[in-house]
Amino acid sequence: MTLKKYCESDCRLKHCKDLPIDLELGFFARWRRNDKVTPTKANISEARNDVGTSFVEHHLTIEQLKDLYPDSYIHHEFPERSDGLPTEEARKRLRDGGCNVLPPPKEESLFLVFVKQFHFKLWLLLTGAAFLSIAAYFAHYANGFNEPLNLYCAFILLLVVLFMCLISLWQEYKARKVIKNFIKLLPSKAIVIRDCEEKEINSEDIVVGDLVIIRSGSRIPADIRILQTNCLTIEMSEVTGQTQPVECTAEAAASYVSVFESRNVAFRGSYCTEGDGLGIVIRTGKFTVDIMLVLGGIANLHTQMMPAKSKLQQELRAITQFISVLAICMAAVMFFIGCIVAKFENVLDHFVIGFLVVIVANVPQGLPATVMSQLRIIARRMAQKNIYIRKLDLIG
């Protein structure tokens, strides 16, 4: 069966407009319409099915791939003798299709990061104590007592919270800056065949149709259809979910086999654990499998799951809840006892003295500052060993 007849008989290629250059497949059409998929568990299977139907290269033989990618000059009998893309053609495709990079994730502004620092449990506790102190001051002031002690206490508490939040913001800013610089210093490389020669290029310069040489220990820079193997084994658990490395082959997969179950496609982000091989790039950039799965809703599902909390976060949450419940209970008991003893006269005074003051007194104002100071010291010592912590409360 010729490639043309194969494509005409396969309903998955009914969207093809210009087969040798572009495969206009169903999932790409959905992506271009910006359809939103509700992130539910059912979408995991649906997204994988959508992605699977957009791949046909794993069903094609090397001879059919040669017809599909004529500019790559694939030698169907001895793929290692292939000429590869001409440099000019590769530059043209890079200019038209863009670099093999992903759009950088949108980073939160420093102001938003600063605001989120106040969500720390202990800071909420101190902030609540500060506002209660302000309420106690105004309650006394309304009764003719100008006692600024509560006001001073509130000011100091808010100052401590602000100072510690600024420290946390500075810590996260430094870690973010170090990560950016580290990524810039370590650009990934790939070895391709162009103009009948092996060339080492940046992974971002890879285009569809490039012949990539895969070697042990290398990272797969794009979605690749394997053309030749020599004991080639690739670890693809992040994409396919398979816990064991896959022993790859260059043989075409059966028509009923999904791309995730085939052994002749290496996905972007996977690693070669053993052997070597040769493959042709079939997807780059935002059209690779990992990004298509994200668009299908799997990533959204994972982001909605609650992240695992560190032991320190669990302990701080427990002690914060305990202190809050204990303070409210003690304040309520003292308030009612005071009201009963005074026969419910001067209820406002008893509320200030027996409720607000007791709550403020139960808040350990020095504990949050002590904990964060210790975490800051730990983070500084770890930074001296080139270990950077983005959020202090993640330590432990």
CB 261 within 8 A of CB 51: no
The overall pTM is greater than 0.85: no
For residue 14 the two structure tokens come to: 């009914």
pLDDT for position 165:
82
Q: Which band of pLDDT confidence, cut at 50, 70 and 90, is reported for residue 105? A: low
Angle of CA points 205, 210, 211, to nearest 5°: 125
pLDDT for position 362:
77
Superfamily of domain 110-183+309-394: Calcium-transporting ATPase, transmembrane domain (1.20.1110.10)
The answer to whether residue 209 scores a pLDDT higher than 70 is yes
Helix (H) or strand (E) holding 182: helix 149-185
What's the rounded Cα separation, in Å, for the pair 3 and 321? 67
pLDDT for position 59:
92
Q: Which band of pLDDT confidence, cut at 50, 70 and 90, is reported for residue 373? A: confident
Q: Which fold has domain 30-100+206-304?
A: 2.70.150
Angle of CA points 245, 250, 252, to nearest 5°: 110
Beta bridge partners of 247: 233
Mean per-residue pLDDT, 268-292: 86
Q: Which band of pLDDT confidence, cut at 50, 70 and 90, is reported for residue 28? A: very low
The answer to whether residue 321 scores a pLDDT higher than 80 is yes
pLDDT for position 259:
86
pLDDT for position 49:
67
Mean model confidence pLDDT for the chain: 76
pLDDT for position 364:
74
The answer to whether residue 4 scores a pLDDT higher than 70 is no
What's the rounded Cα separation, in Å, for the pair 287 and 282? 9
Start-end ranges of CATH 2.70.150.10 in the chain? Answer: 30-100+206-304
Start-end ranges of CATH 1.20.1110.10 in the chain? Answer: 110-183+309-394
pLDDT for position 125:
72
